[in-house]
Chains A and B, each alone.
Chain A
Amino acid sequence: MSAILPPAERLWWKHPLDRVEGTWIAIALIWCLTMFAMMIGWHIFGNQNLSTETYKTTPELFSKKAQAMVDKYTVRTETAENIPVVAPPAGSDVYLTARLWNFWPILELEKDKTYRLHLTSMDYNHGFSLQPVNINIQIVPGYEHVVKITPNKSGTYSVVCNEFCGINHHTMVSRIYVK
């Protein structure tokens, strides 16, 4: 008789559906398949899809590549710690290192140009949270994640670490300039 008692009819799986249930299941199924198609469709027609190009890396290996980029393309330094501001050419490989508790270096990019942004962490998990755009990517140590980014508006953007990484987590914030 009720949900806390055994079903009255032993062959309950032969019980016919009510019209409300049948209609709702059909509608819900269509909606579910629509949402599934939407994700695939966005990979074909949309412009915001996260690349999954990934390489295993080590702090030494990645630092070497990041240092080479900094040596070549630094335009100035900023803050008391003299963090280099790097302006790499459009289309090039750009390296951003996350470590306790800063991002290195600061990037200066051009609007509507595409860059191959390489992300890794030197120590713990970190987060790449681009504000105020609000794009969020996980940064995992030991893995080099290559994401193609195309800034669509000029301005000063912030990169906030949004994965908990210890006591000074809240000071881990950097910038990306887009000209």
Chain B
Amino acid sequence: MTTTTYRTCPRSGLQFESQAEKLMIVNAVTAVVALLVGGILAIGVVLTRWPTIHWLAADTFYMVLTAHGIDMLIFWIIFFEMAVLYFCSSTLLRCRIATPKVAWVAFVLMLVGAIMNNVAVFQGSSSVMMTSYVPMMADPKFYLGLILFAVGALIGCFIFFGTLVIAKREKTYQGSVPLVTFGAIVAAIIAVFTIASGAIILIPTFLLSVGVISSVDPLIYRTIWWAFGHSSQQINVAAHISIWYAVAAIAFGAKPMSERVSRGAFLLYILFLQLASAHHLLADPGVSTAWKVVNTSYFMYFAVLASMIHGLTIPGAIEVAQRAKGYNNGLFEWLRKAPWGNPVWSGVFISIIGFGFLGGISGVMMGTEQLNMIIHNTIYVPGHFHATVVVGTTLSFMALTYFLIPVLFRREMINPGLAKLQPYLFGFSMYFFCLVMMGAGTLGVSRRHWDMAFNGAPMAYEWPGAAYLLMGLVGIAGIAAILGGAIYIYITVGSLLWGKKLSGGSVSANFTPIPPTAPTAAAQSYGSAGFAAPGTFVLAMVFLVSFVLYYFINWKYLSQVWGLS
């Protein structure tokens, strides 16, 4: 058995096992490098889609767009998620990580895969977009890179599961795992499904690219690819919601309003969230209406229900904790007195609101079978997923990084003043970016399109002036958001390189088990009208009203277009 040591962080009280700690650091740092590459590529995408600048040539644009999508959606996020999985198992459960050597193999596979895929794209022969719909073919290295990366990630998931087993066996905790770890388990289960789907479709496509098999059916490709492509975003949802719960606990000492409700909502994710890959097939031939309706709605919107529950219980838990501290005046004193200068909290708050209002509502619109027809493949779609994946996931990861710099990396953050500003600049410019993209999409502007002026086309369509204006605003907002992202990278990398070294805390050869927590008195006297969190309830109702109004506005819009049957 390998010997290892355990360090208790003096700032957070968290216990880091040395092997797990190194793995977290290396995965998180690689993730930030992927974010840096993706961010540089974003400049090319944004400045080309800004009509008055229209910077890159068509072939470069499509190459850059392909790389931007893959580096951000897959490499940045999944490398970071590996660190999150190791944190939620080894650190939160205070146990050693299972098979650290294998975890290094997993990391190397992921790294080699990511580099191989990027090389294929930058050689220019694989500008097929992230979706790589057959029969349009990329270089074999493109698929092989993704497959290697996926195998590495899959191994990482099983190391996470193995670590849970170790914690249970070595009795490092009593009772059930923490809610945040529970959320991470949900993310890992979804990840296994996701990666298996990816393998089922990418392996034949790789074989097609090297000439071993002669064809892959385009519709079957789309169906199974999306079980990978959409599900990978569901890993993010489970992961960043776990982070929200974690930050509520870290920044406010908030405890879940009810473990039953929060865990039940996570359980709904396991059961229903995956069905959403149907969202991408609503405008397709060959798939029956009943299949579309049942799947696109996550079977009667049970996963939307789960997200609406988390959207209430996380701020609700914070409200209860704040009221208990005495911020008990009116509906919103608890929120006004939140630590707005702490980027860990402000990042998460901006993420929750943006994910719900912009990402959540727009996602349900696109996922409504008929409404999809007025949205499919317009730039509304990237407007939606920048709200979910960038405002939701990326901003949450950024916020968590600010917590991890002193705790995991043992460095003092450089330039805390700039860090204070960063979530606001990045978050709000991203809000605006998403809104104007959705606006342009409502006017029909296509996604993944080099030239909205259709230069060289004999029957060019002239978009309304408003579409050009909105795409110009997309450019401006995009540049502001990229600046926000650059500040994050500067602070993170700068702190790791030049930040003052902090003491790691006491090191021990044995783990200290988590002591059992004393049950708290269930009765409490805060809130009003029997509501423990009335302010949160009001916010939730504001959300619901916006949701309902926007939903029916879209039906009204649909009812005016050509008849289709």
Contact = CB atoms under 8 A, between A and B. Distances in A.
B168 to A, nearest CB: 12
Interface string B434-446: 0000000011101
A19 B530 contact: yes
- Which of B177, B285, B562 has the most A CB atoms < 10 Å from its CB? B285
Interface stretch (A67-75, A86-94, A121-129): A121-129
Contacts of A58: none
Nearest to B369: A39
Given A136-B373, A141-B135, A4 B92 contact: yes
B305 interface: yes
Interface in B427-476: 442-444, 446-452, 454-461, 463-464
Interface string A121-156: 001110101111111111011111101111110000
A5 B288 contact: no
Nearest to A146: B285
A58 B286 CA distance: 15
Given A28-B305, A163-B377, A173-B454, A13 B259 contact: yes
A21 interface: yes
Contacts of B423: none
Given A17-B260, A124-B135, A135 B564 contact: yes
B455 A35 contact: no
B100 to A, nearest CB: 23
A124 B289 contact: no
Given A54-B286, A124-B136, A138-B284, A170 B257 contact: no
B175 interface: yes
Interface string A105-130: 01000000010000100011101011
Given A3-B178, A170-B455, A135 B461 contact: no
Contacts of B313: 21
B58 interface: yes
B444 A129 contact: yes
Interface string A149-179: 1111000001011111111111111110000
B285 A144 contact: yes
Contacts of B248: 3
Contacts of B176: 6-7, 10, 12
Given A124-B135, A135-B373, A79 B458 contact: yes
A149 B222 contact: no
B531 interface: yes
Contacts of A1: 253, 255, 517-518, 520
B459 A173 contact: yes
Contact of A162 (B177, B447, B540, B551): B447
A129 B261 contact: no
Interface stretch (B71-79, B293-301, B350-358, B499-507): B293-301
A43 B563 contact: no
Contacts of A21: 257-258, 261, 309, 312-313, 316
A40 B301 CA distance: 13
A118 to B, nearest CB: 10
Contacts of A129: 377-378, 444, 446
B375 to A, nearest CB: 7
A40 B256 CA distance: 36
B370 interface: yes
A17 B261 contact: yes
A16 B217 CA distance: 52
A81 interface: yes
A142 B555 CA distance: 32
Lowest 9 A-B CB distances belong to which pairs?
Answer: A150-B563, A145-B285, A32-B301, A158-B461, A2-B249, A162-B446, A12-B259, A136-B376, A170-B451
B254 A32 contact: no
A169 to B, nearest CB: 7
B543 to A, nearest CB: 10
Interface in B307-361: 308-309, 312-313, 316-317
Contacts of A135: 373-374, 561-562, 564
Contacts of A29: 305
Given A31-B544, A48-B564, A151-B562, A8 B261 contact: no
B42 to A, nearest CB: 18
A164 B179 contact: no
A79 B458 CA distance: 6
Interface in B380-405: none
A48 B289 contact: no
A125 B255 CA distance: 49
A18 B532 contact: yes
Given A35-B297, A134-B443, A136-B375, A20 B517 contact: no
Interface in B252-284: 253-263, 282-284
A5 B565 contact: no
Given A8-B520, A149-B563, A173-B460, A137 B260 contact: no
Contacts of A134: 374, 378, 442-444, 561
B548 to A, nearest CB: 7
B368 interface: yes
